[in-house]
Amino acid sequence: MVSVADLLTDGRLPGNYFAQDLYVRGSTELGLLENRRGDRLLAIPESLLQAIYSGLEKETGQASGLVLYNCGRWWGKNFYARFCEELADYYKQPLSSLSMAEFLQSLQQCWKTHGWGQIHLDITYRDRGFLGVEIWHSPFTAAAPQGQKPAGDLERGILEIFFSQLTGRELRCAQTSCTAKGDDCNRFVLGLQKRLQPVEALVANGQAHQAIMQTLMQQG
């Protein structure tokens, strides 16, 4: 099992398994996209993402965020399984045997190649038990309705289950900034549920990411 300590302290080195020109293959005649193993890929237009958000809002109202979060957890569980399987096949060893440099670079390249934006892990608060995640140029929150609350519920669910399975601990994920409300990127914090409880109220009160993290640092 990958340890949290290793995950947060190792450096990163370039990798190319998920490089777009090698990973994504397609046929313009057939209109098909596949990855390098022959698994089907799906291209989703922005208009469809916008329709999903508006449709959920119309059908479920305030529960739309919860629906997206649960979809994200399901998606993240399957994404983690495929991610581990592909890397294990490529490196001929289980994910737990890979260096953290190889793992982190693979995750960043995989996220980018699938068109989900650019992901970066923030280890600033690792000694206090928190892992920060930044996602830049997210197509999901770009398509979400603009408002005063974070709209990255889908990504929050993906990150929560992905890192819970990776570390073997039941982590929770909270969003502290969002491009849908005018922030420069989507920021998330992963940690134990009890320690993340203040985040929702702080976000609702308009606290910025750094102020929220300072509050979390002051907890006993």
What pLDDT does residue 164 have? 96
Mean residue pLDDT across the chain: 88
| Helix (H), strand (E) counts: the chain | 10, 7
Looking at the chain, the whole-number percentage of residues with pLDDT higher than 90 is 64
Contact at 8 Å (CB) between 148 and 56? no
Q: What residue ranges define each of the domains in the chain, with the CATH number in brackets?
A: 45-218 (3.30.1380.20)
**Segment 179-197 mean pLDDT:** 94
Helices (H), the chain: 4-9, 20-23, 46-60, 64-91, 100-113, 139-143, 153-167, 193-196, 199-204, 209-217
Q: Which of 62-66, 145-149, 197-201 has the lowest mean pLDDT?
A: 145-149
**pLDDT score, position 11:** 38
**Model confidence at 6: pLDDT above 70:** no
**pLDDT reported for residue 13:** 39
Per-residue confidence (pLDDT) for residue 12, from 0 to 100: 35
pLDDT, tens only, 102-121: 888 899 999 999 999 999 99
Query: If phi over 0 gives left and psi between -120 and 50 gives alpha, with beta otherwise, what is residue 27?
Result: beta
